[in-house]
A and B are shown apart, each in its own frame.
Chain A
Amino acid sequence: MPEALRRNDKSTEEVALGIRRRVFEHAMRNNGGYLSQACSAAEQLAWLYNEELTLGAPTLPMIPKPFGGVPSADNPDYHTGAGYNGPAAPEFDRLFIAPAHYALVAYATLIEVGRMAPEGLEMFNKDGSSVEMIGAEHSPGMEVHNGTLGIGFSTAAGLAWGRKRRGEPGRTWVYMSDGEVQEGQTWEAIAAAAHHRIDNLYAIMDVNRQQCDGAMGSVMEVGDIGAKIEQFGGVAVWVDGHNLDQMREAVKTPHRGKPLIILANSSPFRGMPTLQLRFPRLHYVRFKSEHERAQMNRDIAKSLGVPQVDYGQTEGK
């Protein structure tokens, strides 16, 4: 058996707070970032990485290597960023981050659970870096490209079917966003997974009811996602996306012959209530003025219970 997995010393609550703190610090220094995704997703990703997933030790350096080129016959050393989740051994789980713009939050998670060095986040969106803004398959923790939303669950279904056929005990997990249910492919994937009885396939979907343009109900209503998943042949379980015990219970739901999709009702302001001032435009929060930036710095630091960020504020401000 490959090197046994190293559990984190931190509690899952601490990991979740750490995710929010790192994304907050990053957004302050860079005058914006994917803050609302950290708010809604922190407990879900913390729970996956700190408790639920069975992963081996990372196989790639703690400080990410620079961009090493794209797949091509002339690039024999090409590899994905999946090594941050450990080796692709039969007994281990695999995870795809389907909404690739959650990358910042996913990288923060890798750091919190000791799979990437904090320096990794400083490389975020820097020219020549592999730590890309929209997680690429060569980015830490990523194994496939998902920047085009709605393709993650299909790929995972195929991988899960293949692993089942080969008798691998490891599960295949997908982290999904609710925006993805507007894409028809998501429904084709669920139907295919049900038809082929792919039950080693698991997803947790961040149902924060937000998308780029604002609240999903104002952009294109998707109705009862849980009922629809069941109709398409999956098993859906609703949980409070910030309640770890509910996630721990939900994953035990029997789903023989069907994929299990945990629907995590979440708040895009959780831990940073001041973000409500930005509703309905939460997708990417860029501070509109130095005043707003300073105010967010004070308010978010206070609500998270962490120090304010020194982002090189001008004297006296």
Chain B
Amino acid sequence: MTPKFAPGVRLHEDKARARWIVMAPERMFIPDETALEVLRLVDGARDEAAIVTLLAEKFAAPAEEIGADVGEMLRDLIAKGALRE
């Protein structure tokens, strides 16, 4: 799967409040830390495996462990309408 942002959805740095925020038509939500790590790597070109590899490197954790979390996170963000496959 290669996730990309749904139309009209983007990740934005809310500097005034020192946080990142997902902006969508007529709504916004604040991603938790894990979701934010995943969302920052979503560019419409990287597939799920590439995202997992990068995160495994970043957190020096086994890819299998990270993989399960990332998969769940991506499905959740798709269900929320923030991402598409």
Co-complex (A, B): no
B→A interface (CB under 8 Å): none
